[in-house]
Amino acid sequence: MKQSIKIHKRADFKITLWYSLTFFISIFILALFLNYRLSHNLIKEIDRFITDESNEFLAEIDQEKNDLKKIQKRFDQTIAGREFYKIYYRILDHKGKTVIASKNFGDIGYRKDINFLTRLKKKHLIKETFHSPYHRNPFRIHSFLFDSTINKEIYAIQIGTYLKHYNKTMSNFQNNIIIAIPLALLIACVGGWLFARRVLVPISKITKEAQHLSISNLDKRLIPSGTGDEIDELIYALNQMISRIEESYLKISQFSADVSHELKTPLAVLKGETERILSTSRKRDEYQDHLYNLVRKIDELIELTNNLLFLAKVDSGQWRKPDDEIAIDNELLKVIDLFQGLANDKGIKLSYLPLPHLLVKGEKFRIQQLFTHLIDNSIKYSLPGGEIEISLKKENGWSVFTIKDTGIGISKEDLPKIFDRFFRVERSRSRQTGGTGLGLSLCKKIVEIHGGKIIVESELGKGSTFTVFLPLVNPS
Ligand code: ADP
């Protein structure tokens, strides 16, 4: 059932939030930077202007030499034309006392600290922004020393201007920023949300389609948008995953059907035979014979279930390979000895080349099972007069076991399927020979869990060769 996701957990909400937050922080930092740069540049311009005025004053002092009255008159005339940036000035003697000042200087309320002259002596030029208690806006004031050898009464000059226009420009800029930031943030939020929705729409589509997938429609696939982006890649990966699940599911279904079938038929036969035995009274010997046959069939069933259990354990990863060292030449020899009688009875020549002493690691019982099954198959699928040749050798760190027969062989079409579970070339023929179609898949699994591989070559009517590679304990 579809569950609606809480807003704060939704990806589009989170993307929008992070995007907007990042945007806000960057725009805020940018605004602070611009504010600082604008203020800095404006003050620099004003400083240049004050420096120009100072130079003009110095030139006038130079002209009027010792006459302070005349100097003041000339100064006042000069600043009278300064309307936009009004000029404030005063001249101090070496005790710090004002000797002349513009009329408006007193309005500033400028208080110099006691160390002012000492500081000025050290620096020669002090540029400061002074906040007057009587005015809304600050003043920019330059104080500098005067060469008193020329005019003994003049020690220092202070000249400055009112920063009204500077403040106006700054507050205009700040007001604009205050309006622009929320507006930009709003656009970023809406844009971010639309963008997040656009990116996430295909994901919602995938979610919807995935919710409708079930065992009954595993053949369905998600449709990529064709843009070749990460979402399309995700769709391809999901489709591959669905294909693998479908394949495994079909295999499991087939396997369960085969298992039920394999168990059902012999159980039905067992029941039928038991009922037949019970239907008439028999002699003790006859009962014994019949019961002996039944026990053999039950043993076959037990072996089949044990093999199925082993395969299931390996498939689910529960089977752990024992670490025993196995002399495979000894095990092979035991199995060959076991089958010599059967081969002779069928008129088949079972021979082997000298077996080298080779060690592999694993489970002895499973290795025996492997040899037993391959030799048994070769005898089963060979005709009287046939030949089976077995060899064991060491090759590049591997033990290589080969069993070659001149039997009925396997067709090209069937060859790729013979290691599939319950596959039999001809079901009726295999039933006659007593096979279940599980043997070779079991052999393949045994070889794989021992770190090896099994291959087959065969030609219909000519014979088959099975080769098993197993890693040696001591490859050198
Ligand atoms: P089964 O238990 O029926 O023998 P297997 O898994 O051992 O099943 O073998 C699968 C099929 O491969 C068999 O049905 C058989 O026809 C074919 N096969 C296996 N070994 C040989 C062989 N040596 N020669 C010819 N056919 C073989």
437 C-alpha to center of ligand 1: Å? 7
Would the pTM count as exceeding 0.75? Answer: no
Q: Are strands 156-162 and 87-92 parallel, antiparallel or unpaired?
A: antiparallel
**Pairing of β 387-395 and β 398-405:** antiparallel
Is the distance from the beta carbon of residue 386 to the nearest atom of ligand 1 less than 6 Å?
Answer: no
Most confident of 131-140, 146-155, 246-255: 131-140
How far apart (Å, rounded) are the C-alpha atoms in residues 44 and 418? 91
Q: Of 331, 366, 349, 354, nearest to 451 (Cα)?
A: 366
Per-residue pLDDT for 8 more than 80? no
Alpha-carbon span 131 to 110, nearest angstrom: 9
Query: What residue has token string 């800029």?
Result: 173
Q: Is the CB of 377 under 6 A from ligand 1?
A: yes
Q: Is the CB of 161 under 6 A from ligand 1?
A: no
Answer yes or no: is the C-beta of 435 below 6 A from any ligand 1 atom.
yes
How remote is the CA of residue 295 from the centroid of ligand 1, in Å? Answer: 25
Q: Report the nearest-CA residue for atom 2 of ligand 1.
A: 435
Taking CA atoms only, the protein residue closest to ligand 1 atom 17 is 425
Spatial distance between the Cα atoms of 396 and 452, rounded to a whole number of angstroms: 13
Q: What spacing in Å lies between the alpha carbon of 418 and ligand 1's midpoint?
A: 7
Q: How far is ligand 1, taken at its centre, from the CA of residue 254, in Å?
A: 19
Provide mean pLDDT across the span 443-470: 96
Which residues share a beta bridge with 92? 98, 156
377 alpha-carbon distance from chain centroid: 48
Residue with CA nearest ligand 1 atom 19: 377
Q: How far apart are CA 406 and CA 113, in angstroms?
A: 119
DSSP string, 381-395: T--TT-EEEEEEEEE
418 lines ligand 1 (CB under 6 A): yes
| Residue 407 CB less than 6 A away from ligand 1 | yes
Q: Are 344 and 334 in contact (CB under 8 A)?
A: no
Residues 176-185: pLDDT tens digits? Answer: 999 999 999 9
Integer Cα distance of 78 and 64 in angstroms: 14
The CA distance from 148 to 91, in Å, is 12
Cα angle for residues 453, 459, 460 (degrees, 5° grid): 125
Tens of pLDDT along 26-79?
999 999 999 999 999 999 999 999 999 999 888 888 777 767 888 888 888 888
Question: Each residue of 270-318: pLDDT tens digit?
Answer: 999 899 988 988 888 888 998 999 999 899 889 888 998 898 888 888 8
